[in-house]
Structure formats: C-alpha cells, structure tokens
A and B are shown apart, each in its own frame.
Chain A
C-alpha cells in the first residue's frame, strides 16, 4: 500500500535552533505534498502546499521565512522550522498526493512529527 514516512518522529530542541522534518513517499511519486500542524486537542491546520520543483504556496498567516519548505524530488519534501521558539511546539503532519502507482489522486498522510521547543 501507499506509505508516507516522516523523520524524525519526535524532536526536542532548544529555542533559537532550526529543525528539519522530512516527508517521504515510499512507494509512489507525489508531485504535491501538504504540510499541516496540529495543536493538542485541535484539528489539522494546513500550513503550505509543496510542489515538486517549484516554490511552496503558504496559507495566510504562515511565515514562509520561518517555515522553509523544499520539495526537491517526487518522493521527498522537507519542512525546516527556523529559529524555533516554544510556541512552535506542535505536531507536524505531512501528506502526499499520489500521482502514480495505480493510486492516482489519493492523498496519504505521514505518521507525524512531534516538535518540542524548550
């Protein structure tokens, strides 16, 4: 089946440091990946849409200079939280829009990354 992995699954960092989160589609290609954040007991909030080979599209209110997104290949997108602060602590989830492998037009979610900024 279609699997999306995220690495790391959890990370603890000091305030002011940068953290990179990887999102990979393991057995299918994804020209589009989405990044969400989820606060405890809340819903998923879309942060940005990542398109392979082009700049990401950010949702209103999301700082693109703080949340850097790179989608360099059809199977990998990265989210870098720059100069992280405690308020960036959250659960970050990616999803990948399948465009190959017989599962065209399905969106599959990664297991999430728990970020804690001290």
Chain B
C-alpha cells in the first residue's frame, strides 16, 4: 500500500524567505509523486510531478522538488516566498500515471509581509 505523510500542517514564512514543505512517502513500487496547490474554494492545480525521468523536478511559479529514494522524500521548495504563494499544498503518490492518487494531509502555507 502507498501512503504520504506531510510534516507540518501549517508553515509560516516571511515574504522573500525560503519555502520548504516536507513530504515523505511509502511505496512498494517506484512511485509517481505530485505536488498540488489549492486556493480557497478551488480545485487543485498541479505544481510539479516526478515520473522517474529526473530526481530534481522544476515546476510552475518557481517551485521545485527533489526525489530522494534513500530518504523516501519529495520535499517542495521555493527560494523566495511571495504573498501569492499562500495556499494549501498537497503531496500525492500513485503507483502508475493516471491512477488514483493518495494524498497527504496537506500543509497550509502562510506568507507574512
């Protein structure tokens, strides 16, 4: 069975500071990993995905994530936070592309001016 754990339900950073959102996964097969962002009362928007092509994945809005098999991690980072980054972020895993996604608990990112 696959699972995802996001460490920290709420992360607060100052504008311009580094953003680090943590995600650890459990999978018995090589996983496909995703990060999604959700703004209030909206659906999910894909930030980036890992599909085994490259361990460092660059996404939209300046976000990137690194797949570390030895640590079973897929942490999301952004060098400099912007006020518009304030949202809920979800890490998700699936054993095959297009398959059902297993979501983490979510991390709410707040950005202080």
**A residues in contact (CB < 8 Å) with B:** 4, 6, 32, 34, 42-46, 49, 91, 93, 95, 97-99, 105-112, 114
Do the beta carbons of A114 and B103 come within 8 Å of each other?
Answer: no
A interface, over-half SS: strand
- Residue B18 is within 8 A (CB to CB) of chain A in the complex: no
CB B68 to nearest CB in A, in angstroms, measures 23
Do the beta carbons of B103 and A44 come within 8 Å of each other?
Answer: yes
Known: A111-B42, A112-B41, A112-B43. A106 touches B98 (CB 8 A): yes
Complex Cα spacing A109 to B103, Å:
14
**Contacts A43-B106, A106-B46, A110-B43 supplied; 7 other A-B pairs, CB < 8 Å:** A45-B103, A91-B41, A93-B44, A95-B44, A97-B98, A108-B46, A112-B41
Per the 8 Å Cβ criterion, residues 40-69 of B in contact with A are: 41-46
Complex Cα spacing A45 to B92, Å:
11
Do the beta carbons of B98 and A111 come within 8 Å of each other?
Answer: no
| Contacting residues, chain B, for A91 (C-beta < 8 A) | 41
CB A14 to nearest CB in B, in angstroms, measures 22
| Contacting residues, chain B, for A45 (C-beta < 8 A) | 103
Do the beta carbons of B98 and A93 come within 8 Å of each other?
Answer: no
Complex Cα spacing A11 to B97, Å:
32
| Contacting residues, chain B, for A114 (C-beta < 8 A) | 41
Complex Cα spacing A49 to B96, Å:
14
Of chain B, the residue at the smallest CB distance from A9 is B41
Name the contact of A112 in the complex, choosing from B42, B90, B98, B106 (C-beta under 8 A).
B42
Known: A112-B41, A112-B42. A42 touches B100 (CB 8 A): no
| Contacting residues, chain B, for A32 (C-beta < 8 A) | 98
Do the beta carbons of A46 and B44 come within 8 Å of each other?
Answer: no
Do the beta carbons of B105 and A105 come within 8 Å of each other?
Answer: no
| Contacting residues, chain A, for B44 (C-beta < 8 A) | 44, 93, 95, 109
Name the contact of B90 in the complex, choosing from A43, A49, A105, A110 (C-beta under 8 A).
A43
Do the beta carbons of A109 and B105 come within 8 Å of each other?
Answer: no
- Most A CB contacts (10 A, CB to CB) among B41, B90, B105 go to B41
